[in-house]
Structure 1
Amino acid sequence: MNRLREIESLPSIERQQLINHLKAFKLDERLKTFERVIEGRTNYFTVMLENIVHPHNASAVLRSCDCFGVQTVHLVDDADNYAVNRKVAMGASKWLHLKRYSTFSNNSETAIATLKEAGYRIVATTPHKEAPSLSQFDISKGPAAFVFGTELTGISSVVESLADEFITIPMVGFTESLNLSVSVAVLLQSVTARLHLSDIDWQLNYDQKQNLFLEWLRKSIPHISLIEERFFKMRLER
């Protein structure tokens, strides 16, 4: 099977021509869904999961990220055994960008360095009451990567030492903390709701939207390699 051309290597005009060609293979209703969902996607916030023990928890987090429009998730997995539970994720992983860190000498440190280089402030989640509460979190200070640690012990000492900020979800019951996936959902609902009401430029830019639309078309059209091969062949013959 022929390999698909790298999306970023295609000139913008050619990308759009390919998108227009591929649209003929999808129902209008599905295309409208793609357009609607892309308008709600953001890279202003991202999530980093550090060595989650139970794969179904990580899969539930992916589902929450998709629901609240967070396009990219960073997965630190020292054991290199993470796999998406399709029943729990409900297909969410297909539409997200997953960046994995499992082969470095220090995966957490590498992930954080990558995020900081991309302009994110590292916001570590913690159950400790002395940390600022979710309602106090300032979304206007710039893009943020929310880091969630393992279900048993929380964030690692590496994350704790490299974090720029800490945040907690206040609890008033007997239980000290929420389930991991519930915590992610509560946090993302709060920050994305405020983000959508703000004047922050949080949406994807034109090129990012175009690239993502093409990526989703490719993932949802059978025999895409053959279809694209014919498209580029016809262009050469003109």
Structure 2
Amino acid sequence: MTPERIGRLRAVLDRRQPDLTVITDFVNKQRNVSALVRNCDAVGIMTAHTVVEKDNYKAFRGTAMGSHHWVEVVCHETLDAALDIAREQDMQVIAAHLGTDSIDYREPDYTRPTALLMGAEKRGVSAHGVASADCCITIPMVGMVASFNVSVAAGIILAEVQRQREAAGLYRHRRIDDATYRRLFFEWGHPSVREFCIERDLEYPELDASGEIDSPSLWYEGVRQQLAKRDLS
């Protein structure tokens, strides 16, 4: 990798926000989910969660999951499965929902660990999602249109999230642990070797100071020997 490439990868990793995520509540259109994932990457989200209907579960995983290189997208069949992960990480769940108790989207404290819950355009966040949220937020509108596209709405809210976190200094220092940092740096910098290792259940090779595989010929020879032993067993 070039020094510029290494610098870019490290700069992005240094600003990743492990305590911030987006959960989509049955947003089944792939283009909307893809746009949401781009929004996630833009504000440093590492992992997003998407809930899809059971009938579309396998198809959605096959068509959408592999296309998001910079943000891990975890697919769930139920909303509770996604919410449980957020709760395990002590995240507040904030639902984008227009209701009588909804507050302006700029009011919550997004410097806290946060899961933003977004619903489909027509149905919105489900009743269960609203009941499970710590609070509901809305984007004030003054026109005839009742709502934004889900990815546009998420972009507006996440821009406020980023503003608050920037002001609080949460982007000024690395916040992910060393093991995760090394794993992502390797996976982002060497995607083809990553796939090779995953397909064959191999550990990732060590990298040198330049971001390249340390002693690649020795590593490949070790891999050949390891695979040969498997074939004999």
**Range class of TM-score, shorter chain:** 0.7 to 0.9
Task: Describe the superposition over 1:53-105 as per-residue Cα deviations: whole angstroms up to 9, x where unpaired.
Answer: 3211111111111122111100111231323399xxxx6x1111111102xxx
Aligned residues of 1:50 and 1:108 also touching (Cα < 8 A): yes
Residue 34 (structure 1) aligned with residue 9 (structure 2): yes
Decide whether the 8 Å contact of 1:122 with 1:146 is kept in 2: yes
Residue 173 of structure 1: SS of its match in structure 2?
coil
1:112 maps to 83
Gaps (5+ residues) in structure 2?
A: 206-215, 226-233
Instruction: Choose 52-61 or 124-133, whichever is displaced more.
Output: 124-133
Give the letter for the 2:85 counterpart. Answer: T
1:191 to partner: Cα distance: 0.7
Q: What are the residue-to-residue correspondences of 1:124-163 with 2, within 5 Å?
A: 124-128=95-99, 130-140=101-111, 142-163=112-133
2:142 to 172, 178, 182: 172
Change in CA separation of 1:217 and 1:224 when aligned onto 2, cut-off 3 Å: farther
**Which residue of structure 1 lines up, in the alignment, with residue 64 of structure 2?**
84
- TM-score when normalising by structure 2: 0.76
Instruction: Give the length in aligned residue pairs.
Output: 201
Paired position in structure 2 for 1:22: none
Does 2:160 match 1:190?
yes
Distance 1:66 1:220, change over 3 A: farther
Matches within 5 A, 1:28-107: 28-78=3-53, 79-80=56-57, 81-82=59-60, 83-84=63-64, 93-102=68-77, 107=78
Letter in 2 for 1:100: C
- Counterparts in 2 of 1:220 and 1:32: CA distance versus 1, 3 Å: farther
Q: Is 1:208 equivalent to 2:185 in the alignment? A: no
Q: CA deviation at 1:121?
A: 1.2
Deviations 1:126-158 (A, max 9, x none): 133641111111124x20100001121101121
CA drift of 1:223 comes to: 8.0
What amino acid is aligned across from residue 39 of structure 2 in structure 1?
Answer: S
Matched residues, percent identical?
Answer: 24
Per the alignment, in what secondary structure is the counterpart of residue 135 of structure 1? coil
Aligned pair in 2 of structure 1 residues 222, 45: CA closer, same or farther (>3 Å)? closer
RMSD between superposed Cα atoms in Å: 2.9
Which of 1 and 2 has higher RCO (CA within 8 Å, sep 6+)?
Answer: 1
CA contact (8 A) 1:53 1:151 kept: no
Cα distance in 2 for partners of 1:85, 1:205 equals: 24
Q: Deviation of residue 175 (structure 1)?
A: 1.1
Taking the aligned partners of 1:223 and 1:119, their CA distance within structure 2 comes to: 32
CA 1:157 to 1:222, structure 2 compared with 1: closer, same or farther past 3 Å?
A: closer
For residues 53 and 114 of structure 1, the distance between their equivalents in structure 2, rounded to whole angstroms, comes to 20
By how many angstroms is 1:44 displaced? 2.1
